[in-house]
Amino acid sequence: MRHHPANGSDSTLPYRGHGNRHGFTLIEIVIVMVIISMVMMLVIPRLPSSDEENLKISARTLVSTIRYLQERAATSRTGYYMTLAPGTESLKISEIAADGSGNEPSDPLLQKSPIKEGIIITDVVIPRIGKVTDGQLRVDVGMGGIRDFVTIHLRSAGGKFWTVMSFPSGGKVKAYEGYIEDPP
């Protein structure tokens, strides 16, 4: 016959710690991480961005816009031009009509300026024209892309620069941090 201790536990069974457990299970940790991630996805886009971030975004958006303009001009057999106003944040894209006048582009992506508010076009350099620091400048984008080597310098309110360079051969467009005058 087996002897059972007075407290009711069977000494032949292995001990299972039924006392207080400390810590969290893996599932609890994962659930908390998912909730934190969802909150961050909602909050971070609403935070104000810095001048440096706006400058970087403007440069990269301008690069993408120029590439898109070149591709669109080649595939749709429509010419475009960019009107830049150095010393301001003004950059406007126009579609060349049959009579040679400029119209607002039919593509909604091209109707918005790629330059964020507060970012200034410092100057535009085209070797056959030189450095343009004020007034307005028209840069044509035809079926063969941009015909000239074009350098556009963007500046933030804090004095930081990004350089956008458009190369005529092959339609390559690149953005570089800093004020760069000659292609790397």
Q: Is residue 61 in some structural domain? A: yes
- Domain range spanning residue 151? 51-177
- Averaged pLDDT, 49-72: 90
Q: Is residue 23 in some structural domain? A: no
Is pLDDT above 70 for 183? yes
In whole angstroms, what separates CA 79 from the centre of its chain? 25
Q: What is the DSSP string of 53-71?
A: HHHHHHHHHHHHHHHHHHH
pLDDT for res 49: 63
Please tell me the total count of domains within the chain. Answer: 1
Q: Is residue 183 in some structural domain? A: no
Summarised one tens digit per residue, pLDDT across range 80-95 is: 999 999 999 999 999 9
Is pLDDT above 60 for 9? no
* Summary mean pLDDT of the chain: 85
d(CA 76, CA 172): 19
Q: Is residue 12 in some structural domain? A: no
pTM of the model: 0.71
Q: How many CB atoms lie within 10 A of CB 128?
A: 7
Is pLDDT above 90 for 155? yes
Q: Is residue 20 in some structural domain? A: no
Q: Is residue 109 in some structural domain? A: yes
Binned at pLDDT 50, 70 and 90, residue 6 comes out as low
Q: Is residue 10 in some structural domain? A: no
Q: Give the CATH number, domain containing residue 148.
A: 3.55.40.10
Q: What is the DSSP letter of 108?
A: G
Q: What is the DSSP letter of 24?
A: -
Q: Is residue 115 in some structural domain? A: yes
